Structure 1
């Protein structure tokens, strides 16, 4: 595939926009769909699943033809391609003179990562060396310590940001798991209203039969007349008479 880098040559920009910008938009739409579904974090497997779908939507025959037509390649237009090229002859700088070169339009900016900090520190040191033209001074030592402190702070910030991101992703997964488990209980393990009513109605006759079986002996016992136990003599311990009528007492 004929492809120009965006920073190297402007003639390849139409091809870049017509193909890769469409891919970027298609992938963004897929991610928006996931966000609407409550998925705010994707891992490598999610990316590998979504990327082929975005490629199918982006790399269509019409988009590719439009990109090549905008660059003058299909159909081939040689004059148009040559006119778009901006060729300038330039004498290369000798390798020895590049070491201490400092851009004249350099503007100090706040570094946001380790690489930017190292580039800016090297530029500042080169400026100090050009101005002082002397061996390393206490200023250089203090600058080195300041750079080291900035590097430690940036590394700590990156680690904390990564840990925070991982914790948020894990928390989101736990929320989704709890939500999914609740849904499974409500849909799979629960009973409908009609099923619950049928179950209750089927248990009522059994309970009535059990209550009737327990109540019948109790009712019979309550309706029968109460009989008094026969007397027992306290003298001879014989059942059927009392002590005053005991025959043994009269004999004695």
Structure 2
């Protein structure tokens, strides 16, 4: 998931919990539409007595489907980077931030900024979080 996004310069700003069904719509609508357009294009070429489909023919079919594919992104609530549009979709709750020094200081910052990649790091993070929660606010 993350590798595909990074390879295509897609930045995930926010993904609400339990929202994968919204993204699944994109996958279903994109590939289903591409197959339908390609099939209809092939049928048309067969009716016109073409014996093969080259890359340019495929691209022609793809360009016809592009606008509908682009619309499927909007259906899945994925937009080209437009800050106003993105921010208008987020539910931002304004709150006064808790100063770091009163809540554990650099420990919490390091937990937020470092993603555990191996089991040892994950266990270490879990241990530090438990200690932090035991200490309380």
Identify whether the pair has TM-score above 0.5, normalized to the shorter chain. Answer: no
- How would you bin the TM-score normalised by the shorter chain? 0.3 to 0.5
- TM-score, normalised by the number of residues in structure 1: 0.23
Structure with higher Rg: it is 1
- TM-score, normalised by the number of residues in structure 2: 0.38
Q: Determine which structure has greater relative contact order: mean sequence separation of CA pairs < 8 Å that are 6+ residues apart, divided by chain length.
A: 2
